[in-house]
Amino acid sequence: MNIIASSTSRPTARALTAEEKHEIDHEMTLYPDKRAVGLEALKIVQKHQGWVSDESLMGVAEYLGMSAHELDGVATFFNLIFRRPVGRNVILFCDSVSCWIMGCDRIKEHISNRLGIDYGQTTADGEYTLLPVPCLGDCDRAPVMLMDGEQHRNLTAEKIDQLFAQRALNKEASESK
Amino acid sequence: MAKITVDGIVYEVNPQNNLLQECLSHGLDLPYFCWHPCMGSVGACRQCAVKQYRNADDKIGTVVMSCMTPASDGAIISIADAQAVKMRSSVIESLMISHPHDCPVCEEGGECHLQDMTQMSGHNYRRYDFKKVTHRNQNLGPFINHEMNRCIACYRCVRYYDDYAGGKDLAALGAHHHVYFGRQEEGTLESEFSGNLVEVCPTGVFTDKTFSEHYTRKWDLQTAPSICTGCGAGCNTTPGERYGTLRRIVNRYHHDLNGYFLCDRGRFGYGFNSSDNRITEASLVSSHADEKGVRKPLTQQEAQRQFDALTAGDVVGIGSPRASLESNLALRARVGVKNFYAGFSAEQQRCMQAVIAINREQGLHCPDIRTLEQADCVLVVNEDITNTSPRFALALRQAVRNRAAQLATDARIPLWQDAAVRELAQNELSPLFILSPQGTRLDDVATETFLSTIAQQVALLSAIANTIDASVGTAATDEDSAEQARRIAAALISATKPTIVSGTSAGSEALIHATANVARALRKYSVQSAAINLCFAMPEVNTMGLALLMEEGGGTLDEALQRLARGNADAAIVLENDLSLRTTPAAIDAAIAGTDSGSAVWVVIDQLHNSFNARAQLLLPVTSFAEQNSTFVNYEGRAQSSHQVFPADAALRPGYEWLTPHDPLSPLLTTSETILFHSAQTLAAFAGAEKLLPPRTGMQALMKSPRQLHRYSGRTAMHAHSNVHESKQPTDRQSPMAFSMEGLSLQKDSSLLSAAWAPGWNSNQAISKFQDEINGELKQGCKGVHLLQRTLPPQSAMAVNSAKAGKKGTFVVYFIDHIFGSDELSAKSPAITARSVGPYLCIGKSEATALGLHQHGLARVSNGDHVVELPVLIRQRIAAGAVGIYCGAEINRHLFAGSVSVAPVNEDDNVLARSRQMFSDLIINDSLINNSESGRG
Ligand code: SF4
Ligand code: SF4
Ligand code: FES
Ligand code: FES
């Protein structure tokens, strides 16, 4: 669709990268309808860009021949499609019932104090974003959080400190390389 | 027929429907939000809960959603059951959790379905004491306000806007308690049918922005049944007035025509009524030596005296396709038939004659809008209906879904199961073929759009007819077009309700005949089946009415102007017509020069000032559609009454009053009713029109219908600033309606439905109380009178002259129409003006490159004698060798008809920036995608 309705100030579609297109093309072979690929395409873009900007959203919409409005309906339906920039590490912190019983509030306080961010915020250096999620399915090892695709269980303040210290070390090491 | 039992009472029902619809059809009060009479059910809001029992012995029952349960034979339900009542009151309480305490400042208040349903469901105390979810609103353009906090998440808006009207820029964003109905980014809603959101949304989220400018509660509006003057479709409307100004227009249900929906031109195009451009007093250009040429105001009496004196002799009268039938009749009666001339060009008159003949031909059928919706294969010929007769386009968006209906029927899914039917059908649509010089706004649901000039269309139509019936038309000369013709012919032949839609915009008789030939071929091919649907959209509200009147004698506009140029008349009367839109400036100048030399005068009767009527010696102000009683004849030849909504300013009079010689002994002779009655008796073309007149029997003979709801307030205070005594209500001697709250109540007689209202139903959704069943006929309404009968025997296909090709180095011109801007009067409404663009030129990419034109740059367009510089819009979707011109109010289209040459102009950055800005407001579809190609991986 090429509806001429964009004034200069509005964001315009970003051309998708060859890699993104390649992966989206693969998804397209799996569905009878291009629009069905919407969610997968958004995940692909997020994987490469970290989040889905307006420009990326429009790029995907154009590529799939659907309206950006419709696609944004999909994007915003899912909490884990990020429509605002997030840190390099997204902490998905469980605040559901088992974790709550096991004192996750204190752990969350600890993380917040240490990183200086609350739920929904990103550290100034762009390293961490903290988000609440409901139940990570690991209740017997509550409190639990998910960071970078890795589940961290039986959380304590010390464990959190270790985790962040380790990450800082890793980061230095990779930067000095 | 099946029977169901509701609270112990047995009702006859149609088992194809759901329980909710049947309960409402039987006049029962059952609250609902997400169900809509023509959008079916999705079971989203849970408000329509009832108790259903398995059999007579079942005393416990289960709570079900009535909108999701078929009204199957023997069903036993209860609306009054305590559990069901409790459920409904809990549902409304939770839907209302985040709803603000807004009613006093909410523009929905007083006609709010949410208020009505909340009361009906018995939720009258708000217990939720916590923080509510709040949202940021968006600026959705000049038509619609957005106040998301009022949303109850019924999803009706997106189901209407996207699913029903084919919009692409409104979405349900987010989820659960923070779901948001809006655009991905702030901006003008693009759909030409966005205004219906105002009525579809049961709350105050989407409200009419033009109404906000001068807001009045529904119960304080004076209203009357009216007809939209935006085009010739004849949609029914309810305009509302307060303190002497027209405040808004809402839909008025008509079973055959507009149903529940209007287009945005019709809804928001009323502002010209109170525009600064309005002619508010009579004026005469003085002929005294000392003040020659000075325009002086006249009182009404002086004006009438001058009018009678100046037009005593042999007078040319020029009628108008946008004036009421009565005014045209009165003009004709005043000047005599030999002096009466149509207000449209000879070319349009020829086209209209052709269309009328086709509309009389047996074996063809002119579909009303509802019938258009039922078509299972549609061919649109040239007419850009989204921009010329917009309501048709919304109907065709339903027609393409008949494939889905077919699939659902085969799968035994009831059609009201909206989500299931859509899920089943996916991208499957019934065939829709479009022949057009440029991409259209319907292309997204079209099977194919053939970009073609008029000459190419005539050839293709001829080939289609030839494919269906080898004895007519001519076969295509090249294999491509032969293949196209075969595809279209095959689809038309295999359809059960093939339908062809065109219009007269191209001004081409050949195209009209070629179009009809396809219908004739189809008729011949399928002799036994029902008549073939064929209709032509009409550009103006009374184009058909005037064309019918011209059957009874009279000349063309060109003849009138030539006669005036020869100085062969004592005066000319021009009725509600800006002649500069109908002919070339030269023709008008010559006519004026001719009258000047013979010192004949021009009298123009009109609503708005314009450059043409500024040249008239005597200018008479006329009432608008809302200030007078009128009859308008739509594209089908259906005459409909449009009732006066409010008394106009004293200086204004209806055209027929100015024109009819005043007889002090019988003032009643000048009413619209007597004029119509007289014409029905004397003119064959209008035989039967008297059936429009209200009955003079029974209660109606004694009482009038009120234009004001019984809650109308402030009547005693309205004029208190000038006089503390309550003034008498103005009397209406001309119509069966009164400017008053008193009279026949709607519940007794709704033949003149001033506004849909019923106890407990304050919103426009009260209309269900006036229908014989949901989506049925209005119980007492008048659907209009068909003036065209199928009296002519089937014609064989007419020979069609192929249009002549343009000279080498020139382009064939087609004219572009825009829903906002192309209609003369609505274009002068502020909200419509805000959506309009200036004149421009459309050209294809390769042509532009060859000429050295840039996107949004300037081009010099010339036909040899006349030259104009226009901003350029390079389109992907445009017929080769053609250029489109949008004239707006600035360019005279008669100067550039035919073919033109185009050359680049050196533009500076300012020009570029200006036209870029302009084109950014333009909403067109220049996509390469038709439905058949979209959505496929
Ligand atoms: S905006 Fe109106 S129509 Fe849309 S979901 Fe909310 S209440 Fe329903
Ligand atoms: S389609 Fe024509 S008659 Fe109907 S609302 Fe629109 S402008 Fe008015
Ligand atoms: S509640 Fe936290 S993992 Fe289940
Ligand atoms: S109307 Fe039945 S669930 Fe909404």
Locus of tokens 């020139």: B810
Q: Is the separation of the CB atoms in B914 and B856 below 8 Å?
A: no
pLDDT per position as a tens digit, B779-827: 988 999 999 999 999 988 888 876 565 677 899 999 999 999 999 999 9
Chain A contact set for B925 (CB, 8 A): 1-3
Residue with tokens 């407990």: B760
Q: Do A5 and B920 touch (CB under 8 A)?
A: yes
Whole-number Å distance, alpha carbon B907 to ligand 3 midpoint, is 66
Residue from A91, A93, A98, A153 to probe ligand 3 pocket by mutation (most atoms less than 8 Å from CB)? A98
Farthest CA pair distance, chain A: 57
- What is the identity of the amino acid at B416? W
| Residue A100 near chain B (CB below 8 Å) | no
Q: How far off is chain A from B167, nearest CA to CA, in Å?
A: 10
The structural domains of chain B, ordered by start, are 2-95 (3.10.20.740), 105-267 (no CATH), 287-342+554-689 (3.40.50.740), 364-538 (3.40.228.10), 811-919 (2.40.40.20)
Q: How far is CA B329 from CA B133, B209, B673, in A?
A: 60, 38, 12
Lining residues, ligand 1, CB within 6 Å: B 151-157, 181, 201-203, 205
Q: What is the pLDDT of residue B310?
A: 94
Q: Kindly report, residue by residue over B560-571, the tens digit of the pLDDT.
A: 999 999 999 999
Is A5 an interface residue toward B (CB < 8 Å)?
yes
Q: How confident is the model at residue B937 (pLDDT cuts 50, 70, 90)?
A: very low
Q: Name the residue with tokens 């806007």.
A: B161
- With an 8 Å Cβ cutoff, are A4 and B175 in contact? no
Three-state DSSP class for B85?
A: helix
CB contact (8 A) between residue B929 and residue A11 = no
Cα distances (angstroms) measured from residue B511 to each of B255, B463, B797:
31, 13, 13
Average pLDDT over residues B402-412: 97
Q: Tell me which chain A residues have a C-beta less than 8 angstroms from the C-beta of B444.
A: 1
Task: Report pLDDT for A143.
Answer: 96
* Predicted pLDDT of residue A9: 60
* Residue B10, strand partner residues: B5
Q: How far is the CA of A154 from the centre of ligand 3 (A)?
A: 11
Distance B536 CA to ligand 1 centre (A): 36
Backbone angles phi, psi at B666, to 5 degrees: -135, 75
Nearest ligand atom owner, CA of B264:
2
Neighbours of B739 (CB within 10 A): 19
Q: Which of B270, B160, B132 is nearest to B210 (CA)?
A: B270
B259 DSSP β-pair partners: B254
Sign for the CA dihedral angle at B897, B901, B902, B903 comes to: negative
Round to whole Å and give the CA distance between B580 and B584. 7
Q: Where are the domains of chain A?
A: 18-77, 89-176
Taking CA atoms, what residue in A is nearest to B184? A69
**Nearest residue of B to residue A70, measured between CA atoms:** B171
Q: Looking at residue B599, what is its pLDDT?
A: 83
A20-43: per-residue pLDDT in tens? 999 999 999 999 888 899 999 999
Mean of the pLDDT values across residues B357-379? 97
Q: Buried b / exposed e across B557-568, counting CB within 10 Å, b at 16+? A: bbebbbbbbebe
Higher pLDDT, B499 or B475: B499
Domain A18-77 matches domain A89-176 at the CATH topology level: no
Dump pLDDT digits (tens) for B850-893: 999 999 999 999 998 899 999 999 999 999 999 999 999 999 99
Q: How far is the CA of B195 from the centre of ligand 1 (A)?
A: 14
Contact B6, B78 (CB under 8 A): yes
**Class of residue B578 by CB neighbours under 10 A (exposed 0-12, middle 13-18, buried 19+):** buried
Q: Is the pLDDT of residue B350 over 80?
A: yes
**B863 neighbors B898 (Cβ within 8 angstroms):** yes
- For B560-626, the DSSP string reads HHHHHHTT--SEEEEES--GGGTS-HHHHHHHHHHHHHTT-EEEEEESB--TTGGG-SEEEEB--GG
Q: What is the mean pLDDT of chain A?
A: 91
Atom of ligand 4 nearest to the CA of B43: 3
Model pLDDT for residues B598-610, shown as the tens digit of each residue: 888 999 999 999 9
More confident residue, B751 or B211: B211
List residues of B whose CB lies inside 8 A of any A CB: 162, 168-175, 180, 183-185, 187-188, 190, 426-427, 444, 876, 916-917, 919-929, 934-937
pLDDT for position A6: 40
CA distance B72 to chain A (A): 36
Domain A18-77 adopts which CATH fold?
Arc Repressor Mutant, subunit A (1.10.10)
Chain B residues touching residue A1 (CB < 8 angstroms): 168, 444, 925, 927, 929
Percentage above 90 pLDDT, chain B: 83
Q: What 3-state class would DSSP assign to B907?
A: coil
Closest Cα in chain B, distance from residue A39 (Å): 14
Which of A92, A131, A133, A144, when mutated, tests ligand 3's pocket best, judged by the most ligand atoms within 8 Å of its CB? A144
Task: Mark B626-661 as b/e (b = at least 16 C-beta within 10 Å).
Answer: bbbbbbbbbbbbbbbbbbbbbbbeebbbbbbbbbbe
What confidence score (pLDDT) does residue B910 get? 87
Q: Which residues of A touch B175 (CB under 8 A)?
A: 76-79
Query: Which CATH code for domain A89-176?
Result: 3.40.30.10
Top mutation candidate among A105, A107, A136, A153 for ligand 3, by most atoms within 8 Å of CB = A136
| Residue B442 to residue B434: CA distance in whole angstroms | 8
Interface probe for A, chosen from B139, B178, B185 (most Cβ of A below 10 Å), is B185
C-alpha A132 – ligand 3 centre gap (Å) = 11
pLDDT at B670: 73
pLDDT of B326 strictly over 70: yes
pLDDT > 80? residue B327: yes
Q: Do B934 and A3 touch (CB under 8 A)?
A: no
For residues A40-59, give the mean pLDDT. 97
The pLDDT value recorded for residue A98 is 96
Nearest CA to ligand 2 atom 4: B235
Q: Residue A8 and residue B916: Cβ atoms within 8 Å?
A: yes
A to B CB pairs, distance under 8 Å: 91
What pLDDT score was predicted for residue B931? 62
Nearest to B265 by CA among B920, B833, B926, B755: B833
Nearest CA to ligand 1 atom 6: B151
Contact: A3, B187; criterion CB under 8 Å: no
Tell how far the Cα of B263 is from the centroid of ligand 2, in angstroms. Answer: 6
Q: Quick check: B243 pLDDT over 90?
A: yes
For residues B834 and A159, give the distance between their C-alpha atoms in angstroms, rounded to a whole number.
62
* pLDDT tens by residue, B29-59: 999 999 999 999 999 999 999 999 999 999 9
**Mean pLDDT across chain B:** 93
pLDDT above 80 (res B662): no
CB A1 to CB B916 under 8 A? no
Task: Name the token pair of A58.
Answer: 């429009």
Contacts of A7 in chain B (CB under 8 A): 917, 920
Q: Which ligand sits closest to the CA of A95? A: 3
B494-537 pLDDT tens trace:
999 999 999 999 999 999 999 999 999 999 998 777 889 999 99
Whether the per-residue pLDDT at A3 is higher than 50: the answer is no
A10 touches chain B (CB under 8 A): yes
Q: How confident is the model at residue B669 (pLDDT cuts 50, 70, 90)?
A: low
- Minimum-distance ligand to the CA of A138? 3
Query: Is A3 near chain B, with CB under 8 Å?
Result: yes
Q: Which residues contact B152 (CB under 8 A, 6 or more apart)?
A: B33, B45, B95, B96, B99, B114, B202, B203
Q: What is the DSSP string of B263-324?
A: -HHHHHTTGGGG-TTB--SEEEE--SGGGTT-EEEE-HHHHHHHHHHHTSSSEEEE--TTS-
Rounded to whole angstroms, how far apart are CA atoms B514 and A147?
Answer: 69
Q: Which atom of ligand 3 is nearest to the CA of A136?
A: 3
Pocket of ligand 4 (CB under 6 A): B 20, 32-35, 41, 43-48, 65, 67
Cα–Cα distance, B380 to B393 (Å, whole number): 10
Tell if the pTM clears 0.90, that is, is over it: yes
CA B756 – CA B761 distance, rounded (Å): 9
pLDDT higher than threshold 70 for residue A7: no
A32 touches chain B (CB under 8 A): yes
Give the pLDDT mean for B357-363. 96
Please give the pLDDT value at position B804: 61
Q: Which residues of B494-512 are buried (b: 16+ CB within 10 A; e: fewer)?
A: ebebbbbbbbbbbbbbbbb
Pocket residues: Cβ below 6 A from ligand 3: A 94, 96-99, 135-139, 142, 144
User: Residue B819 CA: which ligand 2 atom is closest?
Assistant: 7
| Tokens 């079209």, located at residue | B446
Cross-strand pairs, A152: A145
